[in-house]
Amino acid sequence: MALFLKYFSGVQGNSCHRVSYPTRTMCVLQGTPVDISCTYSHPPDATLIYKYWFKLRANQEPRDLQSDSEYEGRAEYPVEETGRSTLRITDLRHTDSAEYRFTFKTSKHEWKGSLHGTTLTVTGLRVEVTPVATVTEGQRVTLTCITSCPLADKPSYIWYQNNGPVTGSENPENQLVLDPVGPQHAGSYSCSVRNYAHLHSPEETLTVQCTMNAPQTPSVSVSPSGEVVEGSSVTLSCSSDANPAANYTWFKEHEDSVGEPGQNYTITNITSELGGHYYCQAHNAIGRHNSTSLFINVTGNYLKSNQTLE
């Protein structure tokens, strides 16, 4: 992944020794390899004595990168055609960000590499979450895979949630948009670029908070439905959408609460005195709401009455 800019060449002295750097600036991903190349020329009657690449360091003499301890096992010159040289650095590190120059010496002249070479910037990946990393469900959230400099050739980006790839997330855009965001989107996110999918960014955690709301008007039902016979059992049920979840209390009209608090209220061996209007109240930390009333009409047990008459 590299950003290629303007061509540059230089000539030293009057002996037609020349070095040209086709790429002045490169932006490359940390952990990947890079090839930095140049072309050079000298008079045909001059004999080449040595040539090498070096990293520009303030107040230091040039050192051949192949023998530089900082680049041990990572720097090589794989393409050594006549008039062309390539420096390959593998497993790039942030400390490799620098200007690199080529130098050579012939029997007639020494090219000291005093002219500008190729400047390399090594960048990592990081995830930025906007507007913030802790959001409420229903919001729009944008995750951006950021580099410190623009990578060339517009690579495809891959997104991961909790170390697993996000389905359908690979595309040339460096953003993943979650709109609207929900609880299923909560987790740790990282990104990578195609061809280097093993090089993930550090993870960024997205926290999704559920929307807090008071209970909606509860719905009520009775089981069994229809006529309620004296001496039978009946169960009243109440439900309401709320966050956090609602607690329930049952009331008989004009009376205090009845039974134990709960979503269901069962009356066993019901009598006519227990008939009447019932309603439930759903409540949580945000608020409370009463249901409409439910009328329980208790009819007599005719079988029992006939047995008594005998």
**Does residue 14 have a pLDDT over 60?**
no
The DSSP secondary-structure symbol of 170 reads: -
pLDDT in tens, 190-209: 999 988 999 999 999 999 98
Chain centroid, CA 3 distance in Å:
25
What is the pLDDT averaged over residues 50-78?
A: 93
pLDDT at 12 over 60: no
Over the chain, what is the mean pLDDT? Answer: 88
As assigned by CATH, the class of the 219-304 domain is mainly beta
CATH topology of domain 126-209: Immunoglobulin-like (2.60.40)
Shared fold status for 8-123 and 219-304? yes
Helices (DSSP H) in the chain: which residue ranges? 302-309
117-137: pLDDT as tens digits: 999 999 999 999 999 999 999
Domain parsing of the chain, residue ranges: 8-123, 126-209, 219-304
Pair of tokens at residue 101: 């120059």
Overall average pLDDT of the 301-305 stretch: 47
Displacement of CA 70 from its chain's centroid (Å):
34
Domain 8-123 = CATH 3.40.50.970: no
Our measurement of the distance from residue 104's CA atom to the centroid of its chain's CA atoms, rounded to an integer in Å, reads 48
Residue 3 pLDDT grade (very low, low, confident, very high; cuts 50, 70, 90) = very low
**CB atoms inside a 10 Å sphere around CB 217:** 12
How far apart CA 176 and CA 158 sit, in angstroms, is 9
Give the pLDDT of residue 15. Answer: 57
pLDDT tens-digit map of 212-246: 889 999 999 999 887 899 999 999 999 999 888 99
Q: Are 113 and 102 in contact (CB under 8 A)?
A: yes
Q: Strand 187-193 to strand 8-12: parallel, antiparallel, or no bridges (unpaired)? A: unpaired
Instruction: Name the DSSP class of 274.
Output: G
Reading the block at residue 116, the tokens are: 């500008």
* pLDDT tens digits along 154-195: 789 999 999 999 988 888 889 999 999 999 999 999 999 988
Q: Model pTM?
A: 0.66
* 240-250 confidence digits (pLDDT tens): 998 889 999 99
Please compute, for residue 10, the number of CA atoms within 13 A of its CA located in the half-sphere on the CB side: 16
